[in-house]
Chains A and B, each alone.
Chain A
């Protein structure tokens, strides 16, 4: 299977060339166009109970689509918001994705829901997180450009900017500064990530967009 991410970073989309026997799992609604030779099968996102959990807590859809073909064809996938798409290859390792970030994966990748913890919830990063593991490529998207950092000991991320992180990363919440600073700096609670490991961030946040639009509405 050949894959290419095009139109980065504003309107990134994923173009895949499927050959006979290739299969791809993608978020429901992600398909924009495809060759007539490609078949879609819609199924519960990991069984009924798990799908409901993922929908309610993981920000993912109830269903996923499985694409396959008997001959060959192309498939174009997109995401709902303007922004970037990134690809990683799993080789038995695991990655945690923030709710809503998952776009597509190869069939060797297992999608699971992981408990992120109350700390993550208070930091407004969600009570659950999507856990991708196994082997194969995973594509995930963000609102804004995607940038990464290799975390040594510790790094501070404003809430709403974290997209994905490796399982060795510890998430803690902290105040942006003293009491006055945390209240008035506009940063409030921040996420303190502990390393070692890699994190993926987005250069915009939904909260920031809403605040900007609302500040101009009267």
Chain B
């Protein structure tokens, strides 16, 4: 066995015998004193199981890896499978239980589930949702007479995530909302000038109350626990907790160049600077670059 390490000052790569662990030596290249590290005890079984990634990638505690199924139970049992590429949310409803979903999200369901489309929450909330980039219509799925399942899938390739609201609130980017359980209030929230400059809509969707919320993304979803300051390109935000403050600004080091149109509608170089304590979810793909990439290949319409 050998120990491999880098010199702390000049990054020269060394390979030494095990017996030298903990000893001090002089770097042959830059002359700095280096302490030969003691290798961590390796579990031979764990090493055999994961030969390609001996160290697990960092991820927030309690979050499953990007391809594991997520199982859980809030007010109802649920499972998110086919992650992260083609996430499918399956909910199991007991008689009388309801979930509320965006139009077209249902993929399949048991016949004991009744579907009712409607304007939920009155005129003000409905308009708020519409301004937040969601449909005016909310579909209500109710289990009647017997327990049953409903599966939900987004149109775009990507992941889905579950969030349990406990009196707090979560802001969702346009189109990120998928479904919620009872006890959750969904409305649009005017963002003022921040929304205007973010290029992603003037109004963010705000989910609050006590209950289960599911949201989806284009690409995989990465949760980030913000403890101080964190910067996210506006197009990559999926959701964030309302305990975070945010400010939209031009990417540091980038002047607000380009035409007015790119600044206002293309959101080039605009970032969201989060501060405070809370979690933000980001997606690993962005719809506008994808469409810009696809668009030249689409057949031109002659009209």
Residues of A near any B CB (own CB < 8 A): 9-10, 82-84, 144-145, 147, 149, 153-158, 161, 176-178, 180-181, 183-187, 192, 201-205, 207-213, 215-217
Contact = CB atoms under 8 A, between A and B. Distances in A.
Interface in B182-215: none
20 contacts: A144-B82, A147-B88, A153-B111, A155-B108, A156-B110, A158-B106, A161-B107, A177-B114, A181-B115, A181-B116, A181-B139, A186-B104, A186-B139, A187-B103, A187-B104, A203-B151, A204-B154, A209-B155, A212-B155, A216-B287
Contacts of B115: 176-177, 181, 185, 187
B88 A213 contact: no
Given A187-B104, A187-B106, A211 B114 contact: no
A177 B82 contact: no
B103 A212 contact: no
B86 A180 contact: no
A177 B117 contact: yes
Contacts of A183: 117
Which are the 6 A-B pairs with shortest beta-carbon distances? A186-B103, A145-B82, A208-B155, A186-B104, A212-B155, A185-B117
A145 B117 contact: no
A147 B87 CA distance: 11
A28 to B, nearest CB: 22
Most buried by A among B110, B137, B155: B155
A153 B153 CA distance: 23
B104 A155 contact: no
Interface in B276-303: 287-288, 291, 294-295
A208 B86 CA distance: 12
A149 B156 contact: no
B35 interface: no
B103 A157 contact: no
Contacts of B175: 215
Contacts of A144: 82, 86, 153, 157
B116 A212 contact: no
B96 to A, nearest CB: 18
Interface in B81-129: 81-82, 85-88, 102-111, 113-118
B294 A213 contact: yes
A82 B86 CA distance: 10
A144 B287 CA distance: 18
Nearest to B90: A147
A187 to B, nearest CB: 6
A157 B139 contact: no
Most buried by B among A156, A183, A201, A205: A156
Most buried by A among B87, B113, B157, B287: B157
B111 A154 contact: yes
Contacts of A147: 81-82, 88, 151
A94 to B, nearest CB: 23
A10 to B, nearest CB: 4
B33 interface: no
A74 to B, nearest CB: 23
B155 A211 contact: yes
Interface in B143-157: 151, 153-157
A119 to B, nearest CB: 17
A180 B87 CA distance: 29
Contacts of B291: 213, 216-217
Contacts of B262: none
Contacts of A153: 111
Given A176-B106, A178-B116, 14 more contacts: A9-B85, A145-B81, A147-B151, A154-B110, A155-B108, A155-B109, A177-B116, A185-B103, A185-B139, A187-B103, A187-B106, A209-B155, A213-B294, A217-B291
